[in-house]
Structure 1
Amino acid sequence: MSGPGAQPADPPDHHRPRYHPRPPRGYLNDPNGPIVLDDLVHLYFQSRPTTDMAAPVEWGHLTSEDYVTWRLHRPAMAPVPDGPDRDGCYSGNTVLDDGRIRAFYSGYRTDSPYQSVLTAVSDDGGYSFGPPSQVVPDPAPEEDAIMFRDPFVWKVDDGWQMVVGAGYADGRSAVRHYLSADLHEWTRLDDLAFLAGQDGDGPEVGDAWECPQVLDLAGRSVAIVGTWSRARGVNSVLSLLVGEPTRLSIVDHGTNFYAASALRDGPFGPLLFGWVTEGRPASQWHEAGWAGALSLPRQVWLDDDGSLRSAPLPTTAELRVGPATRASEARVSPQCEIVVPSAGARVRLQFGDEEYLEVICDAEANALIIDRTGASSRADVHGGTVTAPDAFDAAAGRPAARIFVDGSVVEVFTSAGRVLTTRVYPVGAPPWRIAAPDGCTVWALAGELPSAVGSAELVAGGASA
């Protein structure tokens, strides 16, 4: 807008992620059901059109050919008035059923103590889903379940298997297990995994496990769960070897990764997506008009110690714009990648005179530390430090650290396959400055969403098609 009486445009929201996909506005949380059909990956996610948490959850919808630049479509699923998902279409996954994409998900009703396991089919290649039907019964009253939600279905030689997250009043967190020959009739088996209470100094087990995912890695079956507690709500994402439920490992060592969603098979092997949660008060994201983002997809593998390790996809290089530059004293936009070739380096991202983020590759301790204590002059946003142990492997052929910055989102991958996801909210506007040792490089990354906010099709990481 220009001319007499024109109002100045609001400054860009430098906290807003650009290449981590999300809708132009509203509240985003769990990723759901990534699936490949005709060389196109479909990714769904829980979405509300505004930040009003009373708004029913829909399934937002993204597609991509390279897994890093995304086209945003109209929501693929919405609650059916007075149906079994009347108050929200919650988490689940998708499978191919005779060439059609079939969704399994949690139907939310405020008048039910549980989220029922529902299924719905798409007849248009995954762009919309038909009416839902329930496939397994809710827990019986005598089971004393405090949680039951989030189905995950996968193909096996003798049919199909399903897991559902659960928790019980006696303190057990569990992954319930079902078997089917046809995706319609399901038989309950013994729980795939369960753990009673918290023992020792390991990761927090929580009061229930949600968003269970199952991958086959290195000849082992690996369950991935989100830990939930009555006191804190969502906690962290853990992995465990099926048959060894006490052998728990942290999937992401940061502060803002939750609700992992798995793609079991694809051109890059098994992948995980996650919800990048907020690290600021709700009043701030209500004012901004948006909250939440989806993580970069991660290749995952099982380490010799039984822990899940992660790396960014090779196609993240498609986001790079222009040549690499020396990181030392570089000035950068809020969308960049900083590459640290070897451990022993300290990288500082300077947001302003007093605001900065430090990433420390401590070779002696074999640990990567993200220090956010000075990242914002605001006292009401998250700060502090996070650490990933056993962080570096000089023989892996990967940089000691790849630091992805996208507005307020920071994802760091280490050479040994550790990953940390966190959030920072500096007041200082870009460009920002980097101080880093010689040998570190920085890339600008593409990621501007087009300005046509009301468009039904938007691209993260490129222009509108």
Structure 2
Amino acid sequence: MHLTAERGWVNDPLAPTWDGSRYHLFFQYVPDSTQWRTGCHWGHAVSDDLLHWRELDVALAPGDGDDGVWSGSLVRHPGGWRIFYTSVDAADQQLGRVRWADSPTLDGPWTKGEVVAETPRGLGVTAFRDPFVVAEPGGWRMLVGLSLDHAVAAVATWSSPDLSRWTYEGLAASRPSSQVDPVWTGSLWECPQLVEVGGRRHLVVSAWHDGLLHHVAAAPAGPDPTVLAPAQWQQLTAGSGYYAPASFVDAEGEPGLVFWLRGLHDDEAVRAGALSVPHRLGRNGDRLVLRLHPAVTTAARSRRDGSNAALAEPSDLAVAPFRARAGGATVLTVSYDDGRVVVEVGETRESVEAPSAGVQVLVDGPCTEVVTLGGAVAHTLPGPTWWDDDADGASWRWLP
């Protein structure tokens, strides 16, 4: 259920899209490698149900002026579809350029076009990447993540009437890495997403600092697209599993996220990295709430039938912890302690401030996802994992 490549390195999910008949999901991809490299491609997969994915041919590859084809987004326009991606020069990887590629259908082929946005001058920009484009009244809005002097995370913004002519309109939001209350958000915002949930826009960012990837954070945004004024920051994820989510609108018109799930390595199969199952976004006041997508939860059943993917929903962790075993040994424990849901997987222990009820636990071979009403934790186990039939604290429901 966790999308990975037949062979190669997978990281950021890109442009999940419902095209009216099936879902498309692109992803950062390095063929035939278990290590990240500059020369990233855009991989491509499709699904009818958000559960099972079929890998297709690569959508975009380096060449034609790109040493690497890095993260970005996708929009539909009257002539078809347009990808906006980070075009990378190997000599200066941190300062990308925004370039587009067009196709009449999501199945390609994709034809590369012009560079439409570059690093703003005079701001001390030390990193620039990951365009996110969204429609707005009378045209289009683009956000790009950046770092200023290695110390301030920001998003810059451009507007366009036609997806071709873009006008720089300044910094839409910024926050110094020295600011930690209530949440620290790093010195670079990677993969910025502007998501509308329950009639309110939220800025979702991935916190990067000093070469390290951290967590995903979010904040409600103001109505002015040129001054997002995010406030009341929250941490959406904890630990080293989730990163770089991409937003989408599903077939029911509801907002969701798909995350990169770090840590999965299979050197024998020459495969590394995976993507999370899809999540649905909701709101509790000004805070975003993650839930496993209904496509996942409604597919769960009591019969195992050879499956090694399962869902459990403990009624209240304050009453009893949840424990899952593999080969008779406890591998995953989810408990409650002093207002926090605590997730222990192998030697790793993470926690999130959340209620003791409303917890969802998903396993799929070595991939684990624990989703609470206060945030989510993911982890990947080393090597293959065959889960035992029974767990303590809640029953498994198996996924096809």
> Any conservation in 1 of the 2:328–2:388 contact (CA below 8 Å)?
no
Alpha-carbon distance in structure 1 between the residues aligned to 2:363 and 2:387: 13
Task: For residues 105-126 of structure 1, give each alpha carbon's deviation from its aligned partner in whole angstroms, at most 9, with x where no partner exists.
Answer: 1011212351110111012334
- The alpha-carbon distance between structure 1 residues 163 and 78, as it changes in their structure 2 partners (threshold 3 A), is same
Letter of the structure 2 residue corresponding to residue 339 of structure 1? E
Q: Does 1:241 align with 2:220?
A: yes
Letter of the structure 1 residue corresponding to residue 26 of structure 2? Y
For residue 19 of structure 2, the aligned residue among 37, 41, 61 is 37
Q: Does 1:143 align with 2:123?
A: yes
Deviation at 1:132, TM superposition (A): 3.1
Task: For residues 141-178 of structure 1, give each alpha carbon's deviation from its aligned partner in whole angstroms, at most 9, with x where no partner exists.
Answer: x3321100000000011210000000011622101111
Letter of the structure 2 residue corresponding to residue 407 of structure 1? G
Letter of the structure 1 residue corresponding to residue 386 of structure 2? P
- The alpha-carbon distance between structure 1 residues 278 and 245, as it changes in their structure 2 partners (threshold 3 A), is same
Q: Please, what is the CA RMSD of the aligned residues?
A: 2.5
2:262 matched to which residue of 1? 277
Higher mean alpha-carbon deviation, 314-323 vs 39-48, is at 314-323
Q: Does 1:348 align with 2:305?
A: no
> Structure 1: where are the runs of 5+ without partners?
1-18, 326-331, 376-382, 394-399, 447-465
Q: Does 1:432 align with 2:388?
A: yes
2:275 matched to which residue of 1? 294
Alpha-carbon distance in structure 1 between the residues aligned to 2:166 and 2:263: 37
> Any conservation in 2 of the 1:114–1:138 contact (CA below 8 Å)?
yes
> Any conservation in 2 of the 1:160–1:181 contact (CA below 8 Å)?
yes
Q: State the SS of the aligned residue for 2:12.
A: strand
For residue 335 of structure 2, the aligned residue among 344, 353, 360 is 360
Q: State the SS of the aligned residue for 2:83.
A: strand
> Any conservation in 2 of the 1:239–1:248 contact (CA below 8 Å)?
yes
- The alpha-carbon distance between structure 1 residues 117 and 358, as it changes in their structure 2 partners (threshold 3 A), is same
Letter of the structure 2 residue corresponding to residue 63 of structure 1? V
Q: TM-score, normalised by structure 2?
A: 0.89
Alpha-carbon distance in structure 2 between the residues aligned to 1:27 and 1:403: 26
Letter of the structure 2 residue corresponding to residue 31 of structure 1? P
1:98 matched to which residue of 2? 78
> Any conservation in 1 of the 2:35–2:272 contact (CA below 8 Å)?
no
- The alpha-carbon distance between structure 1 residues 431 and 136, as it changes in their structure 2 partners (threshold 3 A), is closer
Q: State the SS of the aligned residue for 1:34.
A: strand
Alpha-carbon distance in structure 1 between the residues aligned to 2:62 and 2:150: 33
2:224 matched to which residue of 1? none
For residue 338 of structure 1, the aligned residue among 294, 309, 312 is 312
Deviation at 1:422, TM superposition (A): 1.9
Alpha-carbon distance in structure 2 between the residues aligned to 1:208 and 1:170: 8
- The alpha-carbon distance between structure 1 residues 445 and 431, as it changes in their structure 2 partners (threshold 3 A), is same
For residue 77 of structure 1, the aligned residue among 60, 71, 74 is 60
- The alpha-carbon distance between structure 1 residues 418 and 205, as it changes in their structure 2 partners (threshold 3 A), is closer
Larger radius of gyration: 1
> Any conservation in 2 of the 1:36–1:266 contact (CA below 8 Å)?
yes
Letter of the structure 2 residue corresponding to residue 301 of structure 1? G
Number of equivalent positions: 391
Alpha-carbon distance in structure 2 between the residues aligned to 1:39 and 1:350: 38
> Structure 2: where are the runs of 5+ without partners?
222-227
Alpha-carbon distance in structure 2 between the residues aligned to 1:162 and 1:118: 12
1:418 matched to which residue of 2? 375
Q: State the SS of the aligned residue for 1:111.
A: helix
> Any conservation in 2 of the 1:32–1:91 contact (CA below 8 Å)?
yes
Q: TM-score, normalised by structure 1?
A: 0.78
Alpha-carbon distance in structure 2 between the residues aligned to 1:431 and 1:39: 34
Alpha-carbon distance in structure 2 between the residues aligned to 1:246 and 1:337: 34
Q: State the SS of the aligned residue for 2:18.
A: strand
Deviation at 1:128, TM superposition (A): 2.9
For residue 252 of structure 1, the aligned residue among 237, 244, 253 is 237
Alpha-carbon distance in structure 2 between the residues aligned to 1:353 and 1:264: 40
Alpha-carbon distance in structure 2 between the residues aligned to 1:441 and 1:354: 17
Q: State the SS of the aligned residue for 2:154.
A: strand
2:247 matched to which residue of 1? 262
- Aligned counterparts, 1:181-200, within 5 A: 181-200=161-180
For residue 370 of structure 1, the aligned residue among 329, 343, 346 is 343
Deviation at 1:235, TM superposition (A): 0.9
If asked which structure has higher relative contact order (CA below 8 Å, sep 6+), I would say 1
Deviation at 1:390, TM superposition (A): 2.3
1:328 matched to which residue of 2? none
Q: Does 1:63 align with 2:46?
A: yes
- The alpha-carbon distance between structure 1 residues 139 and 389, as it changes in their structure 2 partners (threshold 3 A), is same
Q: Does 1:388 align with 2:352?
A: yes
Q: State the SS of the aligned residue for 2:281.
A: strand
Alpha-carbon distance in structure 1 between the residues aligned to 2:217 and 2:371: 17
Alpha-carbon distance in structure 1 between the residues aligned to 2:129 and 2:366: 30
1:164 matched to which residue of 2? 144
